[in-house]
């Protein structure tokens, strides 16, 4: 264990829960296992609905204290937390690799993005300003002055996914605290450690006691948070099926859902193929393809389809699999054995339906080889479902209208990439693709952490990004004066 984990563990090295301003045990202990080899890394305490209720009660009592914090102080706390992660970069990266199985390079990239997200949240806090309303624009509004102010919604229930446990926690906590809210955070089962390190960072940064509670657990803990009457808003990152259940359970609460996708990238005949290949390989196989905007569906013009296939095949075949701590490793293992088996079954099913495996497709020990599939069709699971693994599919098109139709023929709509030097096609893609974001001459996996980020259809509700989330997690109160 690292020194930080020792600071938040009991005498038996079990990582404690963080609630009611203290590090506390519970009745249940579970274990983080290194996805690469299945070996036990660290044990941690798991919460229950009773602990959730206690945490929410304390969070509710702390709302006025958080609301009273001036904006500069909220920003200062966020920046101090970011400073802390800069100091413990190497230690945090080690923990991230052990709990997620991603490469050390990807882990350090996640920490850098976490630091940026906290700093963007600090900037957003300092820019949380009132808006004036010209009441004299209507008859009877003479000699009246009006403006709006931002007030926190209250207790926020935040539930994160396993693929970016530290970064997703930052995207939930940073804007929530910038807006003056309190938070109950539930990390994904199996990846609780970096969220606990986040709690420790905020504790060291001077966050008021009771503003943050981190409760590990599975479905019963999540449901206890979502259903509780004192929780004003729920922010969830995960699968579309779970997101729909949360939306039903939350009833009249404000709900922000960042859900799944089978992200598409169109390659027009005018695109620079070498640039496309570089970006698609990075966008499809970094973090083992376990990202909801990972490049999954490549839709390529028939004139460049064969050349693109060959270059992608060559590059995918060169990717190195193995230990995520090995600097030579490009693609380690997927997070769980069940995910590996599911993806393998989908590949076999696609092969039976006529798909061709150009590269990879085999399971070696606990590792699923990075895979490239051609001759796929829209009725195959590898194309219309979310793979969430190291698999890219390629399909041709002859007309740009057809390409957009293929992209839109999906239950999802998070992000899309389009490579083209044809301005008309670029604008058509911007206006006609059904997605939360369209990136021209960039892959679907592009994301800047301060930009509005979120999807349509089954890909979610609302936008992430610090400024966007602050607007979601604050209420505008309108004030007027008769002069």
Q: Which residues are catalytically annotated?
A: 258, 292
Tokens, residue 269: 């005949």
DSSP 17: E
Angle at 139 between CA 133 and CA 140, to 5 degrees: 80
Task: Quickly list DSSP for 382-450.
Answer: HHHS---SSEEEEEEESSHHHHHHHHHSSSEESEEEEE-S-HHHHHHHHHHS-SSEEEETS-TT---TT
SS3 label, residue 119: helix
Q: How many CB atoms lie within 10 A of CB 354?
A: 10
Q: How many CB atoms lie within 10 A of CB 302?
A: 12
Q: Of 221, 189, 211, which is closest to residue 44 (Cα–Cα)? A: 189
Measure CA of the first residue to CA of the last residue in the chain; give whole Å: 64
Integer angstrom CA distances of residue 83 from 116, 118, 328: 10, 10, 30
Integer angstrom CA distances of residue 276 from 5, 211, 272, 405, 427: 42, 45, 6, 21, 19
Angle at 162 between CA 170 and CA 209, to 5 degrees: 40
**Pairwise CA distance, residues 400 & 391, whole Å:** 24
Integer angstrom CA distances of residue 450 from 15, 207, 470: 32, 22, 12
Sheet arrangement for strand 231-237: 22-24, 17-19, 212-214, 182-186, 155-159, 231-237, 254-258, 460-461
Question: Could you tell me where the beta strands, DSSP code E, fall in 217-262?
Answer: 231-237, 254-258
């Amino acid at each position: 264990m690292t020194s930080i984990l020792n600071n938040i563990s009991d005498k038996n090295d079990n990582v404690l829960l963080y609630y009611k301003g203290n590090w506390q045990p519970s009745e249940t202990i579970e274990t983080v296992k290194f996805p690469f080899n299945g070996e036990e890394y660290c044990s941690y305490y798991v919460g229950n609905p009773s602990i959730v209720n206690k945490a929410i009660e304390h969070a509710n009592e702390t709302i006025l204290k958080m609301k009273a914090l001036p904006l500069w102080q909220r920003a200062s706390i966020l920046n101090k937390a970011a400073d802390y992660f800069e100091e413990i970069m190497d230690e945090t990266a080690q923990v991230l690799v052990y709990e997620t199985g991603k490469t050390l390079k990807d882990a350090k990239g996640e920490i850098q993005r976490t630091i940026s997200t906290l700093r963007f949240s600090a900037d957003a806090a300092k820019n949380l300003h009132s808006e004036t309303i010209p009441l004299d624009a209507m008859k009877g509004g003479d000699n009246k002055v009006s403006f709006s102010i931002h007030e926190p919604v209250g207790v926020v229930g935040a539930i994160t996914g396993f693929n970016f446990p530290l970064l997703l926690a930052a995207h939930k906590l940073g804007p929530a605290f910038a807006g003056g809210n309190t938070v109950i955070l539930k990390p994904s089962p199996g990846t609780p450690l970096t969220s606990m390190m986040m709690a420790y960072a905020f504790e060291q940064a001077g966050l008021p006691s009771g503003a943050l509670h981190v409760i590990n657990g599975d479905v019963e803990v999540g449901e206890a948070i979502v259903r509780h009457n004192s929780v004003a808003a729920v922010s969830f990152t995960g699968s579309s099926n779970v997101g729909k259940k949360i939306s039903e359970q939350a009833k009249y609460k404000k709900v922000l859902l960042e859900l799944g996708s089978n992200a598409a990238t169109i390659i027009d005949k005018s695109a620079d193929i070498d640039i496309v290949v570089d970006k698609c390989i990075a966008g499809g196989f970094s973090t083992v393809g376990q990202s909801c905007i990972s490049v999954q569906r490549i839709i390529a013009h028939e004139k460049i389809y064969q050349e693109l296939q060959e270059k992608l095949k060559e590059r995918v075949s060169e990717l190195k699999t193995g230990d995520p701590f090995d600097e030579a490793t490009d693609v380690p293992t997927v997070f769980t054995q069940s995910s590996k088996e599911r993806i393998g079954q989908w590949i076999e099913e696609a092969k039976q339906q006529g798909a061709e495996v150009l590269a990879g497709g085999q399971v070696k020990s606990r590792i699923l080889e990075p895979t490239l599939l051609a001759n796929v069709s829209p009725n195959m699971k590898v194309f219309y479902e979310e793979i969430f693994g190291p698999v890219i599919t390629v399909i041709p098109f002859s007309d740009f209208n057809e390409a957009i139709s293929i992209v839109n023929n999906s239950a999802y709509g998070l992000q899309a990439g389009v490579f083209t030097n044809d301005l008309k096609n670029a604008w058509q893609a911007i206006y006609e693709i059904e997605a939360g974001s369209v990136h021209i001459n960039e892959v679907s996996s592009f994301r800047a952490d301060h930009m509005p980020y979120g999807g349509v259809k089954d890909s979610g509700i609302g936008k992430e990004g610090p400024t966007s989330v602050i607007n979601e997690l604050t209420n505008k109160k309108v004030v007027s004066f008769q002069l």
